[in-house]
Amino acid sequence: MIRARNAGLRQHRGEVIGEGKWPKIVDRESWEAAGALLTDPARKTSTGNSPARLLSGLMTCGVCGAPVRSGGAKYGVPVYRCSSGKHVKRRVELVDGLVEAVILAYLEREHVSVPTPAAVPPDVRGQADAVRLRLKQLEDKYSDGDLTRAGYLRNRDRLTAKLAELERQEVLMRLPGPVEGLTTAGWAALPLERRRAVVALLLNVRLLPTTAGSGHHDPKLVEITWRQA
């Protein structure tokens, strides 16, 4: 996915050095967007321990604040459990059903379809342009003999790393978020990872302990607040 050849480009030691003589199968902008997404340090690419439940790790315990995760099964029924093992425990189907109902009801009532993020803010683009200018000035100084090779390489590497981070931000900010094009009709067909991303973006969920007069089925024991208006 991140090979430069896909965009018809030649690459050497991780840097694009020109166009190739073969047909490209994707435009450069799409290739850069895919590369920025797939190589983003914040993205976990290992699937070995991927959560198998919608809300595992996304909820907190209403007693100690610890994450609530999948807690195996009780009498063959999957449950969520406070990671401390001491406080809350709730059936997966009850909590998932309530959280999904809240999301779907809100989307249907408000006719929500969050648009693609706005264009990259001028400050990010301006910072990137400023770093490019400094790199050009650095090259000119080195070419004119006003800078030693060691000084040139040290400053070039520092500025190149800074530019790469700014360009990564530019591309990531152009990518649609997890709720882009989200509809009530298509919710059930979304992959688990996408539904988890929607929950993480929109909601804070706390599981509260049972009290006298309340039972595990009481929806008031699942505290849901919205992260964004």
The pLDDT tens digits of the residues spanning 156-172 come to 989 988 888 888 777 66
Q: How many distinct helices (H) and strands (E) make up the chain?
A: 5, 8
Residue 213 has pLDDT above 70, yes or no: no
Q: ∠ CA 1-197-96 to the nearest 5 degrees?
A: 135
Strand-strand pairing, 77-82 and 89-91: antiparallel
The pLDDT of residue 186 is 84
Q: Are 163 and 132 in contact (CB under 8 A)?
A: yes
Please count the residues of the chain.
Answer: 229
The pLDDT of residue 54 is 93
Residue owning tokens 């007693």: 63
The pLDDT of residue 130 is 87
Q: Are 60 and 205 in contact (CB under 8 A)?
A: yes
Distance CA 57, CA 83 (A): 9
DSSP conformational letter for 209 = P
The pLDDT of residue 45 is 47
Residue 201 has pLDDT above 60, yes or no: yes
The pLDDT of residue 214 is 66
Please compute the mean of the pLDDT values over residues 26-41 and round it to a whole number.
76
Q: Are 178 and 39 in contact (CB under 8 A)?
A: no
Residue 227 has pLDDT above 90, yes or no: no
Write down the domain spans for the chain.
4-38, 59-115+178-226, 122-173
Give the tens place of pLDDT for each residue, 90-135.
899 999 999 999 999 887 876 655 444 555 566 777 888 889 899 9
Residue 74 in tokens = 């009780």
The pLDDT of residue 188 is 87
State which amino acid sits at residue 193. Answer: E
Residue 47 has pLDDT above 80, yes or no: no
pLDDT band per the 50, 70, 90 thresholds, residue 206: very high
The pLDDT of residue 180 is 72
Distance of CA 224 to CAs 88, 103, 204, 221, Å?
Answer: 16, 10, 6, 9
What is the pLDDT of the chain when averaged over all its residues? 81
The pLDDT of residue 120 is 54
